[in-house]
Every structure is written in C-alpha cells, then in structure tokens.
Structure 1
Amino acid sequence: MSQVRSSSSAARPAHWFRGDINGLRVLAIGPVVAFHAGFPGFSGGFIGVDVFFVISGFLITTNLVREVTATSRVNVAQFWAKRVRRLLPASVLMILVTLPLALWILSPLQWSTLGRDAGSALLYISNFVFAQQATDYFAVDLGDPSPYLHMWSLGVEEQFYVLWPLLIIAAAAFARRRGVSIQRILLVAFSVTIVLSFALSLYWTQTAPAAAFYLLPTRAWEFAAAGLVAMLSTKFLGAPALRATMIVVGGVVLLGTVFLLTEAAPFPGFAALLPVLATILIILGGRTREGETQVWPARLLAIAPMQWVGKLSYSWYLWHWPFIVLAGVAFETQTSWVLGTAALASLGAAVLTYYLVENPIRFNPALTQSLRRTFIAAGAATLVGLLAVGGAIVQGNNAGERYAVFQDVRLDRPAPECDRETTMVLDIALCEMGAVDSPVTVVLVGDSHAGQWKDALAEAAKQEDIRLVVRWLTACAAIGADTVSTRGTFTEGCPSFVEETRAIIQEIEPDAVLISQAEAYDGRIVEPDGGELDLPAQLDLWRSSYDETLTLFKQWSPRVGIIQDNPRVDYDPSTCLVEPGATAESCASPRDEALDATAVLQEVAREAMAGHEIDAFFTTNDVLCDEYCKVMDGDIPVYRDYNHLTRSWTMTQVPELRKMLVELVG
C-alpha cells in the first residue's frame, strides 16, 4: 500500500488542486438549494446536479488517467476506499439523523415508504427506486414527501465511481494488448459513451422520462464529456483572453439556464446540454500551463468565501432537502420564507458535519492506512443504518395493518373519466356525466372542490334523468377572480379555462348552472398582473367577481345553484387518526375552527348572492358539524386531506344531492 501511495503522489503535480473548480461547486449547490426552497426566479436551479456530475467526471477522470499513465494500472480498491471515506460518513449520518425526525413528523402510513427510501439511500440505489416509482422530481408534494429524494443523484455518482475505473482498466488492458496509446483508446471509449448515452437520454426523455432523469445510462454522457476535457493537453489552452471569455460565457449560460429554464422543459434531453457545456467552458477556461497564473474569472471563483461554501457543498446538499421537506410538513406550509429558513439552517448542519465528521473521518490515519479497516467501518455503519431502516419498515407495516382504511384515503377521489366526452361545442372537449342523452342539462363549474363532487353528482343526475356537464380546474375559482398558490404562483391556464367555461355555458344554454369552489382564497386574491391587494380590496374583488358571474350565468341559464364549500381542518385527519391512541372523536375539529377558514369569503358570497335569485343551495356544514366537525362518518373517512372530501363520503350524499338537483332544475 505504501508503494501505491508513493507512486500516486509522485505522479501528482503540486498544482493538482484547482480552487476555481471548488468555487464552481457554489454555482451548483446554490441554485439547487434555492430551487428546492421555492425562491422565485430559480426555476432551473435543479441543473446544479448536472454541474456536480461534470465536476466529478472531470476530477475523477483526471486522477484515474494520471494514475494509469504513470503506473499502467489503477488501484481500484484504493480508489473505492477514498470514495467511501469521502462520501459515506456524512451520508450515513444524515440518513440516521433524518430517520427518527421523519418518523416523528410524518404519518405512520408513510413509515414503510420512508424506510424503503432510507435503505435505498444507504445502498446508493435510490435512483432505481424513484425511477421505478415513476416519481416526478418536479411535482414533489411536501405534504407527502420523501426526505431522501435528493439521494438519487448520489446513487448516480456512486454507480459512476464503481464503473468508471473498470472502464479505464479495460481500456488500459486493451491498449497494452494492441500496443497502442492508452489515451487514444480512452478517447474512443469516452466518445462512444457520450454518443450512446446522449442518444438514449434523448429517447428516454420522450418515452420514459422518469428513467431518463434518474438513471446513470442517460447521465453517463455528462461524466464522459468531462472525461474528454480531462484528456485534453495543455497545448490547446488558447490565449488567456480566450480562456477568460470562456469562463464568462460559461457562467452567463449557466446562470441563464438557472433563471430561464422551467420545470416544463423535457429533461435531461437536449436541455441538459446547456449546463453541461457551460460547466465544461468554465473548467477549460480555468486551466493553466506550468507556472502560469489563472485568468481573473477563475481567480474570482477561487476567493475565500467561494472556497468555504465549495468545501461545504457536499454536506449542504445532503442536509438541505431533509430540512426543507420536514420543515414544510412540521409548519404545514410551503412558503418560501419557511423553506428558505430551513435551507439556511441546513447550512449550519453542513458546517458541523464537515468539521466534525466528514473531514476527520476522511483523513483519519487509522483508515487512510488500511483498506481493510476502511471497508469494515463502512460495512458496519451501513449495517447499523439498515437495522434502523428495518425497524422503521416493520413499524410502518404494523401501522398499515391497523389502519388499512387510511392507506389509500388520499387516492379516494373521483375518477378522471367521464361517461361521455364530446367536442361538439366550440371545439372544446365536454365531460358529460349522468343521463348523457337527457334533454335536461346542468353544468357544474368550479375548482377541485367542484371536482370532489363529480361522481356523487353524476350518480344523482343519472337517477333523476339529468345530463351533467362538468368543468373544473384545480385552484381556479369559478368566478374568475385571480388567485395565487401559497408559493405565490398562478394556476397555469386558469383565465382561459374560465373564459372557455363561460363560452360553453353561453353556447349550450343549460337548464341550470351549479357553482362549487373553495372559499379559503382570502389572502391569496391578487390583481390580474399578480399585484398584491390588502384584505379589504381582496374582498371587494371577490364580491364583484361573484356578482358579475351570477349576472352572466343568469343571462345564459334560467337557474343557478350553489354548493357551499365544506368545513376544513388545519391538519391531515388521516395522520391524526393513525397516531397511537387516536379516535374519531379525538381527531374531530371544533366547529368554530373548522368553519373559520371559509367564514370570510362565505360571508362575502352571501352578500353577492343577496342581489340574485339562487334556485338551490347545498351545504355540508350541519351534516358534518354539530359542536364538532367529524372526520369519520361511521367507518367512512370524510376527508382525503385537510380540505377535500373523499369520494366514499360524497357518495353517501347522493340522496340529498338528488333533492338539490330536482330543486335546481325546477
């Protein structure tokens, strides 16, 4: 082993460390954290992971090629041991600290999945797990999260670390047998990897997007492209002015991608070329000849603050996502200031991890001088982690058996299918339910709180020989008032959806229109351009929009009905019901609290309705609430989250909905 170390150090130039590359890590970790924390403007921040991939590909290839060139071999065991000492201590610590916190904060119904994700993270195979689950990285609901989702990228990197030295060893053996230059064989091997991997990335991005995003075969070209750069001779550096320009251009493209790329862009695919090529430009621009000073943009990347954050980037990446996810659940919000505070707090955890765990273990003499001790320690730490994970899975399975009724409660929603779909009106698809050939038509309009009634209303309409046309869009108020989410974003397509719905009603002139929408938008009602309004102005806008909508609907349809928004609780009832010792009674909400969230806009709605004849009015307030609002109706869960009703419960209301429809159509 001592011989291997002396050979490696002899082959390594004194200037092997590049501060500009360490500083480049800041341009990777910063956007990732900002993106996950929901900071506005960082829609493409997820490409920071690709920057990390390129950096790893460049540095690892540089070291491996340097070793194989000097010694005609690669000490694979030593290489893997270095990676283990570098990466495993901090990751195991994060996983084991996060696990009990997540078990405490998350529902027992999530414990089995949590254990699975933690176990796959310990074994660096979580990218396979999330690809198999077809997890949409860009649509992660922080109300039902995996605090280990970010470990997919560490899985990709570890798999690269396993396979890349083997590829270089195979290339070296082939070069010796053929009597050709190892560099030439490696150039061919890297080029073939780039072509095949990038082609697969383009194909899978369209046909299997989850696999394309999470798996190494579609990301290998990013590492290999960096490997090609590592093979370039310093003869081809170019003038200092050219290198400075390359870094500036690379930085502009990289930051432009962070700010302009959106989650809607197919990724990785062609879009991944932008961060990869930009990072390569920055790395190339920072290269120097022996004794030469780096160009000024590279020196800027190497300043002390950039070096400090760059050193912490690995630990910060490990901690930032669990902090963000668990803070979002614990505080029941996804606002940027809460998630941003969590992200900054995770930097503190990164500092402690780096100075107390990551560096001390990485350079511990007892480990660096013994491959055996390194691998035994790594195996022991992983085994301890897997035992803890097994306990979480067992507890989760037990909770699942005890509360099987709640396992699928979040999925207990109306099916997306319609009884019949037509495009006969204005070339817009119509969802028809109930008695689809009936001459009597009712149009249901609203947001997801209209959608939750879809199947129950369809059954009631069918029994009363009524055709039900359904028009709803999540987080899009039926009355057309502009609202934003808790993150301050508009619902995509809402204004056009409202206009199309009104055009449909005007065109088909239904016998009645039925409005159903959430009534807890106060605080999130804005001007059409997103401008903020104080609360009185918000209420005035809601009142006038409601009044205008009723006026228009009365012009196009003789009768209008209202389904008042249901009571809502400020917690997840299923999570409450699976807690040890919980009962339906202990999880019920005081009536005043359950009605408080909708009280303001319901009062405004009553004021708007006062000037119009409302032909039917349906409310669940007294059905669900006496002194307390129930979350279980017999053995049927009432809520699938804190504000949406389950399909199972709404179907129990079919008899009352039949009466309401008869009254509505007169």
Structure 2
Amino acid sequence: MASETPRSYRPALDGLRAAAVGGVILYHLGYPWLPGGFLGVDLFFVLSGYLITGLLLVEHADRGSISLLRFWARRARRLLPAMLLMIGAVTAAVRWWSPANQWSARRGDLLATLFYYANWHMIGSDQSYFARYAGVSPLRHAWSLAIEEQFYLVWPLITIVLLRWGRRAVIAVPAVGALASCLVMVAVYTPDNPTRAYAGTDARVQQLLIGVLLAVLTRQFAGTRLAGWLDSVAGARLAGWTGPLAAVAVAAFMLTVNDSSGFYYRGGATLVALVVAALIWAVERAPDSPVARLLSLAPLRSVGQVSYGLYLWHWPVIQFVPGHSWMRVALTVALAATSYYLVERPIRRGRPRIVAGTPLRVAMAVPVALAGFAALAIVSTTWATGTRAQQFETMNEAPCGVGRWLCQRVPAPAGHPVIAVYGDSIAMSLDPGFVELAHRHHWGYVLAAQQGCNLTGLVSSVSPQPESRQVTCAKESAGRLRKLVDEYRPTVIFSISSMEWEGFVRADRSYVKSGSAEWAAGIHDGLAGYIRTASRAGARLALAEMPPVAPRFKYCPGATTTCAQPPTAATIATNNIYRQLQEEHPETTLIGTSDILCPARSCPMIINGIVVRYDGAHFTPTGARWFVRRLEPRLIPVVARS
C-alpha cells in the first residue's frame, strides 16, 4: 500500500486510496449493500505495482542503476513502524481480552505477520478468510500486507535484470506473469473454500503486475509513437472518457461482486485490475478531469494519507471492540491518525519524536524490535495458570484432519453400539468429551461435523450474502447424513448445532431474518425434514436442544462465575420449536442442555471453576468433558433402547 510517488504529489491517488480502504472497512463491518468492498485490496495492489515500478524506473533513468538497499530501507521506514505498533497492541489485546483459543492459535499468526508470510500461514493452517465466527484471527487482514512485502522484496531484483535485457523484456515478463497468475487463480479456486485462490501470492500477483505494466507503458516507452499519441489532445480526450467509465465500473463491481462468486476467481479479478489500471491512467493523464478533481477533494486526500494506518487498525478494532460501527470507525481513525503523525511520518522523514537518534540508529532498532516482539509472542504462549489457563485451552486441530468432516474416532468392539455426533462446529468442539464417553462404555464413536453446517438443510447466513460453504452445506445436507449412515451404521445419532444468529436465504435469494414468523416456520420444516431423513436411515435420533449462549471471555475480563447472561429470545424460540418437533415425532428423543449450561436460568462462562465455553458458544476441551459427563445419564437410555 505504497504512498511514495515517482514524481510530484498527485492528490487523486490519495483519493483512490481513500476509496480502497473505505470499501475494505465497510466490507469487514458487514454492510450487505457493499458485498464487493473487498475489492479495495485489488485497488491497492494495482496502485502499489504502478507506484513501486515507477519509483524503480525513475531511479534507473536518473542514476543509471537501482539501489536495492536504499529501496528496501525506504520500504522499512514506511511500513515497519506502524506495523510493529499494531502488532504490539494486538499482542496485548490477545493477552488480556481475547477468547480462549488465542495464544496457541495466535502465536503463528503473530510471527507470520511480523515476517510477512501471513497469507501462506493462513492457507497452510486451513483458516478461511471468509469465516465470520468467534475466534477469527485479529491479524487476518495481514495477508495482503504479506503479498505486497513479498513483491517489494522480489520485484526490484527482477526489474534490474529486465532492464539489462531491454525494453521488450520489461513488458513481456510482467505480461506473461500476469496471465500465468490469472490461470493459477482459476486452477486453485474451489467454491467450498476460496481462500487458497484469494490469498495465494501466485494467484494475486497478477494485480500487482498489471500495475507494473501500467508503469512500464507510461514511463519506459516515453518517446515512442504510443506515448506521443497518449500525450496528445486525442489521448487527453480518451482519458476524459475513460475516467468516468472506469470509476463507474469500479463502483459497480463493489456493489455487485460477491467474495464467493465464481466470476471473481475465473477472470473477474483480472478484469477488475484492468479497470483499476485504466482509472489510474485516466486520473494521471487528465488531472483536471471531473473524476480526478473529485478524488482530489481534501477529505479524500486526508483519508488517503492515513490509509495504511486505517487498514492496519480497522480489523483488530472490529475484532476486539464491541459497539456500533461508527464507534469502531471513529476509534480506527483516531489510532491511524495517532500512528501517522507521531510514529510513521517522523520516522519516514528521519526525525522521530519518540525514538531519539539518527536515521541510522532508527534503522538499527528495527531488527531489535522485530526480535523483541517475536520473543514476546513465543514466550507469552507459556503463561497461564488455574482458571485463567483454561481460557486458552481449545482444540488446535480438526479432529478428523484438515478438510474432513467425517471420521471414526473410536472403533466399536464387536457387537457394541456406535454413537455418531452430527452437527456444526459446536458438535466438533464436543469431541474430547465424546471420545472419553465412548471409551468408558466401550461404544464406537463417529464424528460427523463441519463448521457452519446446521441440521435444517437451509442456506443459513447472518446476512443476505451467504458464504459459499453455507450454500454447499445446504445442498449436501441430505447426502451428508446418508454418507454417515452408509459408512458407519450408527446405533444413535446425537445431533447438536447452533442457529442463534442466523437467518436463511430462500431459493429466490431473498433473506429471512432470525426470529420472524417465517424464520420459525422454515426452521421447523427444515428440522422436521432432518428428523424424517434420519429416521428412514434406521438410526435412533437424539436431538439436543440448542445450547444457550454464554458471555464471551473478552466481555468477562475478570473471569468470574458471576459473569453470565440469560438465554436469548432466539434461543428460547428455537428450543420451543425443538419441543414441538418432539411431540410431532415421538420416536425422537430430545436431550435438554439449558438446565446444564444455565443453572439458575442464567448462562455463565465459568461453571464450578471450569471455563466451559471460551467464546460463549464453542466448548473448551475441559468444558466438553464436563458437559458430556452431564449428558451421559440422558444418552445411556437412548443407546440402550436402540
């Protein structure tokens, strides 16, 4: 997200940065009317490729060479101070306020962010960039910064080589690279989890390279017929038409393109980058055009100047700070402005107000700071005692392995019953308790659980724009249940899931909000269909009530047993539907959960000194064992009757 320019200051480019960061923030805040706000990152990538390559070409033209050390030092002064400040704040927030899965889960995130390989870490650890559930990394947004830094490290080296080979190589190599990157994105895209295609350097470098091509065409080809025509009156007229058309196209993309849309991954990303490049060229070529003047307005310029800080801070603020969107935006702006005026700008100019000394001393302090933060992230993972320790205890690995939802966890001795646990991530978090239960009773145990896949067969979503995996869950619902029964022949299927926050999307793509009468009818019919399917499969069904939600740890920093909340209206409504279904289907056993998790009609996070659910919904391993032991007397008769 470069801000240095190869010639005099161009305010319209700061306006483009403002539009880009604004789109990303609104997207992350979850506004459904801007599903394509994530394309702000695409705009940043194209702009970075354009500006960085322009800097390199200008330096080569002026000096006859490119100083890699000088280039990398400028990048370090520009990017590292604010990044280190943000990482330090996130480290402290994870240490004191984060839900329980954090130190063991966040250690890798911290180190990956520090050393700019966050995108590959996210892919390698099977994190979904598009997930919207408790426990999402507060550093998830660092993937794009990692790609840019990887580009800053490698591209200057390639540029030096290409300039020695000649003008044709300077344009041919980025063009071929952009095409190859586009093909990689198409090849690695999978609808169930597009993260590999979205965050992989090889798939996303196409946008940086399209920015490179723009810089090469406008600078390296100066003096050619093409450059002469573009600088002519006809070129200015073309820029005047291109600017508004490209601006409207970018806005249309942001208003319509969905992050799970196959269009984006099958060429749409390349098209967006080309349109953005056309917009950049238009405002550069015609700085007095209406679009350029609009982007040069003082408020947009001011936002653009602090856009790097806004991007750094917005996602941690969204993750850690409860409240209305405007409060989060205001805090993000305050943090970004403070970082810019007290840290970033002074250090970039070599006159830091806080860190005294020469620029050389400041540069020498950077690796020391990196090492210090890395040590802090690693050493702090070992800290935790007593009840406080339990908040950090979560399952760090998928029980069935990465990408698998069905597996046999405990083999059944000959002639003994098999219990299957079926549901979503709530069911998955109960795995440690059911492993112990199966061993105690010599039962077989099969886990059939996948994040975000509830029991209804509906396209469940917290917004009118469902994630691709939610659509897939709905389509595969009946087939998943048949696969479980065909492969493992369970005696009893224990089903549990959470639907508290989610409405659902109809076949006509209209949205039904949670809690409405139509929502209740849809949940009833969906659960009834699940019960019929399970009954036809020949297994006895034990249907657990939806577990009422407890407060999250970050809202209970004291970790006291008095931190509790009553069951929500959505939980009560859903569990009334469960009771109605049991009356309609007496062959189904309803397993109560509210009396276990909500003694005295209030749901605490800590019960009997145990942190039962680190984020208010998902069970810690200790909490899972505690909870399943209390379910045990209710499950034994169901298994015995089967």
Could you say whether these structures have the same fold, taking a TM-score greater than 0.5 normalized by the shorter chain as the test?
Answer: yes
Unaligned runs of 5+ in 2: 484-488
* Structure 2 CA distance for partners of 1:109 and 1:69, relative to 1, 3 Å: same
Kept in 2, the 8 Å contact 1:456–1:654? The answer is no
Contact 1:441 1:469 in 2 (8 A): yes
Q: Does structure 1 residue 322 correspond to structure 2 residue 316?
A: yes
The residue correspondences of 1:15-164 to structure 2 (distance < 5 A) are 16-107=8-99, 110-111=102-103, 113-139=105-131, 141=133, 143-164=134-155
2:228 aligned partner = 235
Letter of the 2:276 partner, please give it: T
Q: Distance in 1 between matches of 2:555 and 2:251?
A: 41
SS of the equivalent of 2:30 reads: coil
Shift of 1:88: 2.8
1: CA distance, partners of 2:434 / 2:282 = 65
In the alignment, which residue of structure 1 is the partner of 2:382?
397
Give the aligned partner of residue 336 of structure 2. Answer: 350
The percent of aligned pairs where both chains have the same amino acid is: 25
SS at match of 2:260: coil
Query: What are the superposed Cα offsets for residues 536-571 of structure 1, whole Å, 9 maximum, x if unpaired?
Result: 847974897599779989998999976342653523
- CA–CA distance in 2 between the matches of 1:446 and 1:116? 28
Aligned partner of 1:301 among 281, 284, 295 = 295
Give the Cα–Cα distance (whole angstroms) in 2 for the partners of residues 539 and 570 of structure 1: 23
Aligned: 1:245 with 2:241: yes
Q: CA deviation at 1:346?
A: 0.6
Cα deviations by residue, 1:372-399 (Å, 9 ceiling, x for unpaired): 9434303314423532442342122233
Q: Distance in 2 between matches of 1:589 and 1:473?
A: 30
For 1:462-477, list aligned pairs within 5 A.
none
Deviates more, 1:554-563 or 1:151-160: 554-563
C-alpha distance in 1, partners of 2:514/2:194? Answer: 42
Assess, with a 3 A threshold, how the Cα gap between structure 1 residues 514 and 222 changes in structure 2: closer, same or farther: closer
What is the identity, as a one-letter code, of the residue corresponding to 1:34? L
Partner in structure 2 of residue 179 of structure 1: none
TM-score, L = length of structure 2: 0.74
Cα deviation, residue 236, structure 1: 3.6
Match of 1:359 among 340, 345, 348: 345
Question: In structure 2, what residue type is equivalent to 1:235?
Answer: G
Unmatched tracts of structure 1, length 5 or more: 1-10, 176-181, 332-336, 421-432, 505-509
Whether the aligned pair in 2 keeps the contact of 1:484 and 1:526 (CA below 8 Å) is yes
Deviation at 1:26, TM superposition (A): 2.4
Q: Is the 8 A contact 1:519 1:565 kept in 2?
A: no
Alignment match, 1:374: 359
Equivalent residues of 1:247, 1:286 under 8 A apart: yes
Which residue is 1:430 aligned to? none
Deviations 1:625-664 (A, max 9, x none): 765879789999855753355664576455642312445x
- The answer as to 2:153 corresponding to 1:167 is no
**1:306 offset after TM fit, Å?**
2.4
Match of 2:462 in 1: 485
What TM-score does the superposition give when structure 1 sets the normalisation length? Answer: 0.71
Quote the offset at 1:221 in angstroms. Answer: 3.6
Instruction: State whether residues 544 and 591 of structure 2, in contact with CA within 8 Å, keep that contact through their aligned partners in structure 1.
Output: yes
Q: Alignment partner of 1:286: what SS? A: helix
Shift of residue 96 of structure 1? Answer: 2.6
Structure 1 residue 187: deviation in Å? 2.8
Deviation, 1:22, is 2.3
Deviation string 1:29-73 (CA, Å, 9 cap, x unpaired) is 122111111111333322222211211221222232122123312
Q: Over residues 397-446 of structure 1, what are the superposed CA-to-partner deviations in whole Å (9 max), with x where a residue is unaligned?
A: 233999888766346987566579xxxxxxxxxxxx989999x9999987
What RMSD in Å do the two structures reach over aligned CA positions?
A: 5.4
Kept in 2, the 8 Å contact 1:539–1:604? The answer is no
1:282: how far off? 0.8
**In the TM superposition, what are the counterparts of 1:402-413 in structure 2 within 5 Å?**
409-410=394-395
For 1:644 and 1:272, the matched residues in 2 are separated by 35
1:642 correspondence with 2:616: yes
**Native 8 Å contact 1:250 1:282 kept in 2:** yes
SS at match of 1:399: coil
Give the whole-Å Cα distance in 2 for the aligned partners of 1:169 and 1:489: 45
Contact 1:448 1:517 in 2 (8 A): no
Alignment of 1:185-584 (within 5 A): 185-205=169-189, 213-214=198-199, 216-232=201-217, 233=222, 234-237=227-230, 238-265=234-261, 270-288=267-285, 294-327=288-321, 331=322, 338-339=324-325, 341-364=327-350, 373-399=358-384, 409-410=394-395, 415=400, 484-485=461-462, 491-492=470-471, 516=495, 521=500, 537=517, 541=521, 563-565=543-545, 567-572=547-552
Contact 1:57 1:224 in 2 (8 A): yes
> How far apart in 2 are the matches of 1:190 and 1:374?
34
Deviations 1:110-169 (A, max 9, x none): 23554543344344343443344343322264x223322322322322332333333333
Letter paired with 1:160 = F
Q: Partners of 2:131 and 2:527 in 1: how far apart?
A: 35
Aligned residues: 609
Partner of 2:637: 659
